[in-house]
Amino acid sequence: MRQDGDPEPLETLQRELDDIERRLAGSPPRSQSLLLKQAGDLCASVGERRRALGWYGRAVNIHLELGEAPRAAALCHTILTIQPEAVRARCTLAWLALAGGRSMETRKMVDEYAAAARAAGQNAMAAQQLAWMYDAADDTLLRRDIVRAVRSLDEARATTLSAQRPPSEPLDHDALWSRVLRGTLAPPPG
């Protein structure tokens, strides 16, 4: 029950979010990422899950642009605690594991990403992302598992991937990170 002088939680939230938006304008990217996370935390604290995800997603983008993979991954895990079926967070985690050279983790994340995408009806997008991961991967077992995940989404694309030759040399760090950014950064809001 509302008491005199005690604004509704959503009104208070909106004022705090408006303040954060104003502060974002002149802040450097690192500060922006912290403000965006703070906004997401505020939304989550009052049960505004959908709004929290938008703020967290923007913060993930900044961390990726800054090359801060561990911070981006941590926020993706936060997103998954709020929305376990989140497809983009799983895609980002798979890309980050791939870029970090963690084949076992990448294989697990690829499977989880494909399952989440299937459940959300995002087969075509996920098959494309996984094809890009396949092109970037230099581990034979990982490439096999990516084909299997793609097969669960798009049989024809999996057949095409299976016929591809492995890369002659692994990607260097910059080329791999460029692919991570292409695969993970959300398109700007329409």
Residues 6+ apart with CB under 8 A from 157: 127, 131, 150
- What's the pLDDT at 37? 97
Q: What single DSSP character describes residue 19?
A: H
Q: Long-range contacts: 98-105, Cβ < 8 Å, 24+?
A: 98/133, 98/136, 98/137, 98/142, 98/176, 98/180, 99/69, 99/176, 99/177, 99/180, 100/69, 103/139, 103/141, 103/142
**Reported pTM:** 0.89
- What's the pLDDT at 187? 53
Structure tokens at 122: 């995002």
Q: What single DSSP character describes residue 169?
A: S
Residue 182's nearest CA partner among 170, 171, 166 is 171
Which residue numbers in the chain have pLDDT < 70?
1-7, 186-190
Structure tokens at 151: 């097969």
- What's the pLDDT at 8? 84
- What's the pLDDT at 58? 96
- What's the pLDDT at 189? 37
- What's the pLDDT at 190? 33
- What's the pLDDT at 131? 95
Residue 34's nearest CA partner among 64, 73, 62, 66 is 62
Task: Give the Cα separation of 131 and 69 in Å (integer).
Answer: 21
